[in-house]
Structure 1
Amino acid sequence: MSEVSFRSMKIGFWRQPPVGALNAEIDIAVSSAMETLADQGASIIPFTLPIVDVLDLFDHHWLAGAALGYASITEDDRSKLDSGFREAAEKGLRLSAIELLAAQVKRAHFGAAMDVALNGVDVVISPATAHLPFATAMNAPPNTRVKSWTEWTGFSYPLNLTGQPACVVSCGFSATGLPIGIQIIGARGADGRVLSVAKEIESLIGRYCESNHDLPRDGTRRNCKGPNCRRVEVPLR
């Protein structure tokens, strides 16, 4: 990994997921991290995905992939699978060859459009996920309108389709001590740049945080007295 400087670096800020809404605490924390990078001399440029129905495109590939594995096992083994996976696989079995080939063509066009979009920036930064962490036994965060896992993973699966390298590092904590991450995305093949930028961001934000508050061993920020603490404070509704 090479040394990087944020001075004069062009960073695209991808702020809105393709499906659903962004959690307010995550928005505050990631926006704060972007302000820190701007203070280091980076130019922050709004970034949006190329116009395409990303969820529909992902669904076709995900469902077909699930069906491929599902078709290769016995009915007895299928009965042991997660019910959500079974449902996805059975939908995938109903896809036609024409539907799958059409999705593959759209995927190629989407990837090419992302290549062009990334030509105008050094890297793109986004939230890691659209929602805060929740219990592993759940498919979606509680007390929200989110019903499917694809509604809170919208910052990751588009890159599974396009093939751009990405890396996630921490950028702070929620008001209750839950971790919040940002994702660094680079042009296809620019893995080294992504890792170098991620390393520098992690170092920069780490120094910024640790120098301004007491960080308890459990990771929460409740004892912080510093003015620049990255614990997110949001008004109660």
Structure 2
Amino acid sequence: MTELSDLTAVQLVEGYASGAFSPVEATRAALHRIERTEGAVNAFVRVDAEDALGRAAESERRWLRGEPAGLLDGVPVSVKDILLLRGGPTLRGSRTVRAEGRAWEEDAPAVARLREHGAVFLGKTTTPEFGWKGVTDSPRHGVTGNPYDPGRTAGGSSGGSAAAVALGAGPLSLGTDGGGSVRIPASFCGIFALKPTYGRVPIYPASPFGTLAHVGPMTRDAADAALLMDVITGPDWRDWSQLGPVPGGFRDGLGGGVAGLRVAYAPGLGTGRGGGAPVDPQVADAVRRAVELLAGLGAHVEEADPGLTDPVDAFHTLWFSGAARVVQHLGEEDRELLDPGLREVCEQGAAYSALDYLAAVDVRMALGVAMGRFHERYDLLVTPTLPITAFEAGAEVPKDSHHTRWTGWTPFTYPFNLTQQPAASVPCGLDRDGLPIGVQLVAARHGDALVLRAAHALYEAGVADGIRPPAPAQR
């Protein structure tokens, strides 16, 4: 028998409507799953069971009256501890953030939309300090392990959210993505995540990382992500760069399939590293099978590459400058409390000039033009989400690798933060150690609905069947 904590948000809402089960029962199941798994994985920095059950009881009464508050009434959700959630502190993984002396009475825009639609907040999920890197560990909250093997990393920076969704601790979570931070942990943890077009989901306060930073859904599947996007894309005056909701929403057309779509498959994404980034053969095989599945569903697939020059130096200039801005107000005593790696990149970022920054912007704009031209010919670009599967927890880079920073092993994710394109990670297999593999789907700017539609077609075709954490990770 399927446990309530293993149901999707779509299934939960259907069950509430039919009376098969209640929001209180679903919330209790999610809280029980947290109790069973949290000691091994460390996905949450705060869980408020009393508040969650109180909100679930209110939702239950609304459903009994036939008056649900919105699209997600009674659905258990979690929020990355980068985003404001009213009623408790947002510590951002840092010992330099003080909880005391502040009322914490404001929701981030996406959180506010969830509240308006009756969602049940379980708590806040782990993040590396200020979300600065592609794995999740911080001086304040420790290391977050992978649901498939807690000794491996969950990825980052939205690692706690990915682990929570994978383990059934709520079917939905809000993450942030400045260089891959929803897609990296989604790939490592075997869930779905979408980095929307920049501005599609309003952000407040504005990120110090500027327009690299996106808020996105982390879910069990693409149908849940479409449902969540229909909620969190609601307008919010606090974000002057918001794009506003999509007419008709994201669930309309979700089942339209991929027949006739022009799909470019770039197995290595020629990023200037000898014709493409090296990809683990097991990852390459799983991604190729997903591409073949798209072709079998009627997409016109050809192996084609945008021919990008690796923009990592430009990304570092923008990203490290943002990190330096985050800590600019700190005195020397507080700087000693920072993650040592973060302290290093902040020092590097502080040394850049305005001309260095603008040169990086030039690279970014050229990359955007190149990808715009590419998408004149192709509707979708498909790559591996990552070239590897999850490695040792607590490390920024894989042991014995030549990489010095997390960007060394994430060559397929950060380019699309520079271009602001929608990009999603879909689970497409397991390696011989039973660790998840992700395939990345990328569309032109504003093509979020197309990415969701293609991902949904893959799910309907069984691309993620059998990809769930093993029972030992749930003890």
After TM superposition, is the score higher than 0.5?
yes
Aligned: 1:31 with 2:288: yes
How far is the alpha carbon of 1:70 from its aligned partner? 2.1
Q: Deviations over 1:157-202 (max 9, x none)?
A: 0011000001111101001100001111111011111111111112
From 266, 278, 297, the equivalent of 1:14 is 266
Quote the RMSD (CA, aligned, Å): 2.2
> Counterpart of 2:450 in 1: which secondary structure?
helix
From 57, 61, 67, the equivalent of 2:314 is 57
CA distance in 2, matches of 1:57, 1:36: 35
Q: Which structure 1 residue ranges, 4+ long, deviate > 6 Å from structure 2?
A: none
CA distance in 1, matches of 2:348, 2:402: 24
How far is the alpha carbon of 1:50 from its aligned partner? 4.4
For residues 16-165 of structure 1, what are the structure 2 equivalents within 5 Å?
A: 16-17=268-269, 18=271, 20-165=277-422
Task: Give 5+ residue unaligned stretches, structure 1.
Answer: 220-237
* Identical-pair percentage: 31
From 206, 212, 218, the equivalent of 2:470 is 218
Q: Do 1:33 and 1:205's aligned partners in 2 also have CA atoms closer than 8 Å? A: no
Give TM-score scaled by structure 1 length: 0.82
After superposition, the Cα gap between the structure-2 partners of 1:176 and 1:187, relative to the gap in structure 1 and judged at 3 Å, is: same
Quote the residue 1:166 is aligned against: 423
From 453, 461, 467, the equivalent of 1:204 is 461
> Counterpart of 2:460 in 1: which secondary structure?
helix
CA distance in 1, matches of 2:259, 2:448: 20
CA distance in 1, matches of 2:350, 2:321: 7
CA distance in 2, matches of 1:145, 1:31: 26
Q: Do 1:67 and 1:88's aligned partners in 2 also have CA atoms closer than 8 Å? A: yes
> Counterpart of 1:31 in 2: which secondary structure?
helix
How far is the alpha carbon of 1:43 from its aligned partner? 1.7
CA distance in 1, matches of 2:468, 2:363: 48
Q: Do 2:442 and 2:451's aligned partners in 1 also have CA atoms closer than 8 Å? A: yes
> Counterpart of 2:461 in 1: which secondary structure?
helix
CA distance in 2, matches of 1:35, 1:53: 27
Quote the residue 1:225 is aligned against: none
Higher RCO (CA 8 Å, separation ≥ 6 residues)? 1
Q: Deviations over 1:196-215 (max 9, x none)?
A: 111111221348x56xxxx8
More off after superposition, 3-12 vs 91-100: 3-12
Q: Do 1:127 and 1:182's aligned partners in 2 also have CA atoms closer than 8 Å? A: yes
Code of the residue aligned with 2:351 in structure 1: it is R
How far is the alpha carbon of 1:21 from its aligned partner? 1.3
After superposition, the Cα gap between the structure-2 partners of 1:216 and 1:63, relative to the gap in structure 1 and judged at 3 Å, is: closer
More off after superposition, 41-50 vs 131-140: 41-50
How far is the alpha carbon of 1:105 from its aligned partner? 1.9
CA distance in 2, matches of 1:12, 1:66: 34
Q: Do 1:50 and 1:110's aligned partners in 2 also have CA atoms closer than 8 Å? A: no
CA distance in 2, matches of 1:122, 1:43: 10
Quote the residue 1:5 is aligned against: 257
How far is the alpha carbon of 1:91 from its aligned partner? 0.7
How far is the alpha carbon of 1:7 from its aligned partner? 2.4
Q: Deviations over 1:29-70 (max 9, x none)?
A: 101111122222222122323433411111111111111112
After superposition, the Cα gap between the structure-2 partners of 1:146 and 1:90, relative to the gap in structure 1 and judged at 3 Å, is: closer
Q: Do 2:283 and 2:437's aligned partners in 1 also have CA atoms closer than 8 Å? A: yes
Aligned: 1:194 with 2:431: no
How far is the alpha carbon of 1:81 from its aligned partner? 1.2
How far is the alpha carbon of 1:146 from its aligned partner? 3.8
How far is the alpha carbon of 1:120 from its aligned partner? 1.0
Number of matched pairs: 215
After superposition, the Cα gap between the structure-2 partners of 1:109 and 1:172, relative to the gap in structure 1 and judged at 3 Å, is: same
